[in-house]
Each structure stands twice: as structure tokens, then as C-alpha cells.
Chains A and B, each alone.
Chain A
């Protein structure tokens, strides 16, 4: 499956005068497991929100392979192959496991319409608006076709649906959720919910997968199996993985390269060993907590 590189250049994000991120340069090569660490409020989740299009960065650029993605809407970013999980699990809680995953398959099941290059907004509202108007007829036709296909359940729709269901089941099985397909998400045990969220993210066939504290709230044993899972995903699918993590054991165990943020700035990067030796990192952490004290994240 896909594997993409992710690059940021001078990325900055400000909220009404508050600087949440400043001047972040990041380069994640294809297939790497990349850790982002830092004390609470360092801007890690903000970084994820910028990458996935939830926030529009105030300065800087974002690149996915050779496509610039800052300024794109979240669904467009997702369509290009960036997927994510959330710090506090955000499943579609009244939908069943398989339905959650099928939502992830949304684009695949309907033909990937945003694949390839996506027009970035130029910042000129008039031109962007006209550009959107120009694509409107095609979009309307596609929507109509989609509605008609669903209502009349055409053979192609049936086939796509059956295929999506089959693949969703496979994916759930891969993540150890076989047999839980029809359990409503909110009724799953905590660890399963985490895994389901990853399954849902993987269903979008991402080239880059962003995991926001995947082991938060887990006991050491569960964390260990999560580490194994993350590594397996990368090894088997080749997916580039960026993860935010508080548990140093996890970070050191799985991340091949680490970026350290503090107060919205990058203060260090390197391999686990390099970062651990960095005085600025130790300072940043000692200010708030001990390096090895990890703990259970900030729930």
C-alpha cells in the first residue's frame, strides 16, 4: 500500500495573538515511524490539526510528497492520503464497528474522486469561488449519480458495497476485532475502541497515518501490544506513521526518529538516543515532569 513523505516548512499557527506553533520544519521520509513529543501544551495536537486541514496554518507550507496541502479542507487532505486518530477517542459512537470502518472506506467505496492533485485555494476569494462554481456541475452530476445508485442499488454499487464490507471485515480481523463487527462502538472495551479508531483511519488507505497518543490510558501490557500493532502496520502496509506519545517507553521502543516540541517550537530532533541526551529536552521536561515519568498522558 501507499507510503508518502510528509514535510513542513516554517509552519506557524496563531490563535488571536497566541502563538501555538512557530517555524516548524519537519521532514518525515516514507515509511518512517516518527515520534512527536513534548510537554503538555507544546503544540503537538495543533500540529496534527494543521496537517489534517482542521486548522489553516497562519504561516509556512505543508507538503505531502510533491503536493502542497496547507489550505486544503480536511476531506481533501484525507483524500490525498493523510489519516488520523484522536487523543480522546472520537468514534461514531452509535454506529457499529464495521460501520465505523466503512465510513473510513467512504472514498474507496465511491471511487476516489479527490485522488491526484487537488487545487489549492489561491487566497483570492473570487477566483477560488469561481473555480468551485466551475466544478459544480460535475459535482452535482456525481451527487445525483450517487443518490440514484444508492436508491436503485445498481450492480456497481452493490459490488462496491460488498467489496467494502469484505475489506472492512478483513481490516477488523487484522486489528484483532474479529467478531466485534456488529457491536456498537460505544459499547466496546477501551482498548478495542483505540484499535477500532486505527482501523477506521487505515480504511482510508493513508500514505501517512497520524496517531494522537495511541496508548493513552492503557496499562503497560496493552501499550506493548499497541506498539506491536503500530510496527506491524508500518511493516505490512508500509504506511508512514507520525505519533504523539507521552509514554517514553513507547516512544523509545517504536520511533525511529523523534521531534521534540516545546511552547510551539521545535527544540530538538534525532533518534531516541540523541534526543534523550539533548540538554534542552531534559530542561523542558524537568520543568514539568521527569523524562521517564511518562505517566498516562493528559486525559
Chain B
């Protein structure tokens, strides 16, 4: 058996500096692969990938709030909207409040900063509250922001929206294509992931986890809980605003209709379905909740389903058999080429059922962080192997 010190050291290598430095080459590899594969997909697919990467970014942001600090936030869309509107107000030629445009690369960091600022402002009255009160108040904030955007016509143009935004330019080259925006959002996701991973493994992250575990005790250990909750809220908010600021010139139509509670719920759901606190989880969650409903509408899906005609015929034969055996009169399946269309139409029903099913089968999510899993483990006194990644 190695000496305690040696074991500790090994564990350090694996867990303390666990993420960024150790995994950095790997992460870069993944990033470059992601970028390299772009030419192989058309705009329809790229749009889906953009959406997934956008939700990954938002999920990483919300993960700080919900997964690390344990604060249930149902109003995350407010920050997403804030980032989008900051860019749109200053970069849209139809913006009633601002004439002229501001360079996008000035607005992007500004959005992050303003996001953090509003995170603090919204968080201050809310964060002394606990649990479910926090949930409903954040939900209320999200709605307030949306209704304000809808009704403050002299700034936001209400439901008419802001559009024709100045596209971001890199050394004179205008970012315009779907794949170029995709690269932008992937970089943003990467930055968000890097920052939050570093934070999680620092003194700050420890304070967040302590607050999540037991707020009173954390305070008794000298942690200013309100301050750290605010920091979590602000970090999440700034990442949400970052996502919004990149999405704005991409969809090029910023209107309150896009910032409903449904967005908050989607982001929360993907964080939890993926497994709180884990980045793989966020990616998996985004692929399932955002990617799948999109893919269901693709012609490739329809084509694939069309090839399953034999399956339908087989099942229909079985249904015939059943109908012959019993007084039941089961309907036959529609032609296979309609399946894709049908699935696309009923995708929200599928989405709802999926949420329930995943939670029942894996209540900790698909890729729970190591720690979350342990929380759930049945072991009591058995010593778990040291270290490991979270």
C-alpha cells in the first residue's frame, strides 16, 4: 500500500488539477475536430449544431448556478435576453434609442459585464431566500424582463423586434455564414467551460459546493454566503448574456417572443437531464433536448424512416393478427414515410415523455458528476477509491 502522502499526491494529479491543464490538449483536439468537420455539413445541420452549441453554452452557465451553488433558477432566459438586446439595441439600424452602431467586439465583452451586473442586481433581493422561493422569484424576474421588453417600445420596439444587426467583423471579414457563427459559439462554449471548470476547482468552487451542501455550516466556516451566491449568479448570468450576444447577430431578429419561460425550462432540463455539474452531461442534454427535435424534421430522418417500411409491414401484420385474436381493433401504423413528419409534429409530446422517462431511469442525469453519483450511492461506510474526476 502506498504511503498516504503518495496516494494524496496521485489523487492530486488526477483530481486537483483535474480539468483544464490535464485535459487541455484533449479539449483542443475536440475543438479542432469540431471545426474541421464543418465543411461536411450543410446549413440545415449547421443551424442545428449552432443551436446545440448555444444551449451548451447556456447550460454551462446555468450549471454554475444550479449544479455548483445549488440555486434553482427558473429565470435564466432573462440574461440570455439581456445579452441579445444589448447587442441589438446598439447594432440594429431600426433601434429607436440609439443611432449609429457600436463595434460588435466592444459589445460582446460589454454584454458579459452587463450580464454579471444584472445578475448581481437581480440576485441581491433574491438570494437571501431559499429553495423554492428562489425558483418562483427567478421565474417572475424572467417574465418581468420579457414583458418589459415587449412593452418598452421606445427602446426595444416591442414585438416588432430589432433586426438587420451589424454583423461581427474579423479584420474586415464579416461573419455571416451559419458555420462561421457556429465557430463563434463553439469558442464561447469552450471559454465558458474553461472558466467554470477552473472556478469549480478553486476556493470559489469549494465555497459554492459548501453552500449547496449546507448553507448554515458554510457560513459558520466563514463563507459569506450571500456574496458567493451572488458570484455564482453573476457568473451564470454573464455566460447567459454571452450566449445571447452571439445569438443576436445570428438570428438577426431580436424580439421578446424568443425569450419565453420555455427557454429557461429547456436549459434547466438539459442541465439536469445531462447530470448536474458535469460538462459532458450538458452536451448530452443539449443534443437530446435541442438537437433531436431539430433532427426529427430533417429530410435525412424522413429518408431513414422510409427505409423502415419493412418494420411497419411487420408490425401491421402483427396488429392484424392481434385484431383477429381479440375484439380489439387496433389502428394500423401509417406509411413509414409519414413517420418523420408525424414525429416532427408531435415532438413536444415526445419531449415531455422523454423528460419523465430519463428522470425515472436515471434521476441523477445521464452523466452525473462523480460527486452527485456518490450522493446517490447506496454505500455507507465502504471507502471509495480516492481521487477520480468530477
Contacts and interface: CB of A to CB of B under 8 A. Distances in A.
Direct contact of A and B (CB under 8 A): yes
27 contacts: A74-B220, A75-B219, A78-B222, A83-B220, A90-B216, A92-B210, A92-B213, A94-B213, A94-B374, A94-B375, A103-B210, A104-B221, A106-B207, A114-B222, A147-B231, A150-B198, A150-B202, A152-B198, A161-B202, A165-B12, A179-B7, A181-B8, A182-B7, A186-B380, A187-B374, A187-B382, A187-B384
Interface string B46-58: 0000000000000
Given A79-B222, A94-B374, A95-B210, A181 B204 contact: no
Contacts of A99: 206, 209
A254 B384 CA distance: 36
Contacts of A93: 213, 375
Nearest to A140: B120
Interface residues of B, number: 49
Interface string B183-210: 0000000000011001100111111011
Interface string A50-83: 0011100000000000000000011100110001
Interface of A: 52-54, 73-75, 78-79, 83-84, 86, 90-95, 98-99, 102-104, 106-107, 109-110, 114, 139-140, 143, 146-147, 149-153, 157, 160-161, 164-165, 169, 178-179, 181-184, 186-189, 200-201, 203-204
A147 B199 contact: yes
A182 B11 contact: yes
A73 B226 CA distance: 11
Contacts of B120: 140
Interface string B208-234: 011001101111111111010011000
Contacts of B148: none
B8 A182 contact: yes
Contacts of B213: 92-95
Given A74-B219, A86-B217, A183-B386, A106 B203 contact: yes
A139 B226 CA distance: 12
A93 B379 CA distance: 13
Given A75-B223, A106-B222, A187-B379, 14 more contacts: A74-B220, A94-B371, A95-B371, A102-B206, A150-B203, A150-B204, A161-B203, A181-B8, A181-B386, A184-B374, A186-B380, A187-B383, A188-B381, A201-B221
B138 interface: no
B18 to A, nearest CB: 12
A145 B217 CA distance: 25
A228 to B, nearest CB: 22
B48 to A, nearest CB: 30
Contacts of B387: 182
Interface in B150-198: 194-195, 198
A107 B202 contact: no
Nearest to A90: B217
Interface in B245-297: none
A53 B219 CA distance: 9
From B16, B218, B220, B384, name the one whose CB has the most chain A CB atoms within 10 angstroms: B220
